[in-house]
Structure formats: structure tokens, C-alpha cells
């Protein structure tokens, strides 16, 4: 298991996965990392739908996504064996922030376990469009809640170096 700074340093979006499924232990560790994330006012209203990569529902979501993005041909979750779909209250000011924190906790947990992951926003329009009610029901998303973000996780079938960054451009020491 990597320590947290090493996981932050080495995490990079994985866009290619082997067929190897996650073990129950790996799944539980990643779910727990999401549940342990801080939430505004400790509301803990981020929900996690855990979907097997083979679930036909993902094909339906993909087809819905393609209606708005005719060029987005390949699997939106890059064939990962597991997809975590995070949802939360539509009318809560901090839902998106809470989901962002939870999804990064999960991504770092995956990295710590030696797994790859990629955060996915690309299905937002599909998840909140015409088929919202049907997708929400299939994913057990609670009443009043909406899709916020997703995380694909699996064994890496590709390596990519972490993104470059510039302290000079992005940091202001006041």
C-alpha cells in the first residue's frame, strides 16, 4: 500500500484496463474511502452506485451520451471492470464539492492499491437528460438526487505519466 503523498504524486488517469475484476476487498476499500470523505455539515449525502463493467446499463448510458457527442466512439469508461457512480441532492449547494472530494479519495485509494482509475464527467448530460428517471432508478439513485461524477477503476493496461503543472502559473503566495 502506497502512502498518501506517493499516491497523489503517482496517480494519473488510466484509459485502458485489463479484464481482471476487482476483489471484494479492493471494492470495499475503495467504497470505504468514499464514505470516509468529508462532506459539508457532515451531511453524508453522497451515494455510490457500484456497477460491473459488463452491466448492459452502461451501454445504454453510452448510447445516450453519443447523442450529444457523435465523435465519442470508445467506451466512456475505457472498459474498466468497475464503475462507481456518485450522486447527491440536486438542491444542495455543496453537492458537487462533496462528490469531488469523495471521488478523489476513491481514486487515491485505488492508486494506493496499485489499481488505475479515471474520473468521468462525460456522461453528465446523458445522466441528467431525457432518460434521467430511468437511469436513476436502475442505479438506485435516491429521490431528489442527481448524477454528480463517476470513477472507473481496474487494473492498468497502460501507463501514463502524471500531468505536468506549473506553480508559477497557478499559485499566488500573497
Ligand X SMILES: Cc1cc2nc3c(=O)[nH]c(=O)nc-3n(C[C@H](O)[C@H](O)[C@H](O)COP(=O)(O)O)c2cc1C
Which residues are near ligand X by CB under 6 A? Answer: 12-13, 15, 118-122, 149, 160, 162-163
CB of 24 to ligand X, least distance (A): 27
CB of 151 to ligand X, least distance (A): 10
Beta strand segments in 11-135, E? 47-52, 82-89, 116-120
CB of 50 to ligand X, least distance (A): 19
Please check whether residue 124 is in contact with residue 36, taking contact to mean a CB–CB distance below 8 angstroms. no
**Nearer residue to ligand X within complex by CB, 57 or 100:** 100
Q: Rounded to an integer, what distance in angstroms lies between the CA atom of residue 117 and that of residue 16?
A: 9
**Nearer residue to ligand X within complex by CB, 114 or 121:** 121
**Nearer residue to ligand X within complex by CB, 14 or 136:** 14
Q: Rounded to an integer, what distance in angstroms lies between the CA atom of residue 5 and that of residue 139?
A: 33
CB of 146 to ligand X, least distance (A): 15
Q: Rounded to an integer, what distance in angstroms lies between the CA atom of residue 41 and that of residue 79?
A: 36
**Nearer residue to ligand X within complex by CB, 42 or 64:** 64
Please check whether residue 155 is in contact with residue 173, taking contact to mean a CB–CB distance below 8 angstroms. no
Amino acid at each position: 500500500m502506497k502512502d498518501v503523498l506517493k499516491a497523489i504524486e503517482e496517480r494519473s488517469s488510466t484509459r485502458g484496463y485489463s479484464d481482471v475484476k476487482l476483489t471484494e476487498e479492493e471494492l470495499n476499500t475503495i467504497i470505504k474511502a468514499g464514505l470516509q470523505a468529508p462532506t459539508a455539515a457532515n451531511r453524508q449525502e453522497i451515494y455510490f452506485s457500484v456497477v460491473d463493467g459488463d452491466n448492459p446499463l452502461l451501454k445504454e448510458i453510452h448510447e445516450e451520451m453519443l447523442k450529444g457527442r457523435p465523435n465519442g466512439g470508445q467506451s466512456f469508461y475505457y472498459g474498466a471492470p468497475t464503475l462507481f457512480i456518485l450522486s447527491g441532492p440536486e438542491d444542495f449547494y455543496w453537492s458537487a464539492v462533496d462528490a469531488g472530494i469523495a471521488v478523489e479519495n476513491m481514486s487515491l485509494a485505488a492508486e494506493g492499491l496499485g489499481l488505475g482509475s479515471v474520473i468521468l464527467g462525460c456522461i453528465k448530460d446523458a445522466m441528467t437528460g431525457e432518460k434521467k428517471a430511468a437511469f436513476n432508478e436502475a442505479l438506485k439513485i435516491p429521490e431528489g438526487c442527481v448524477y454528480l461524477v463517476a470513477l472507473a477503476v481496474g487494473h492498468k493496461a497502460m501507463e501514463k505519466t502524471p500531468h505536468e503543472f506549473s506553480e508559477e502559473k497557478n499559485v499566488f503566495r500573497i
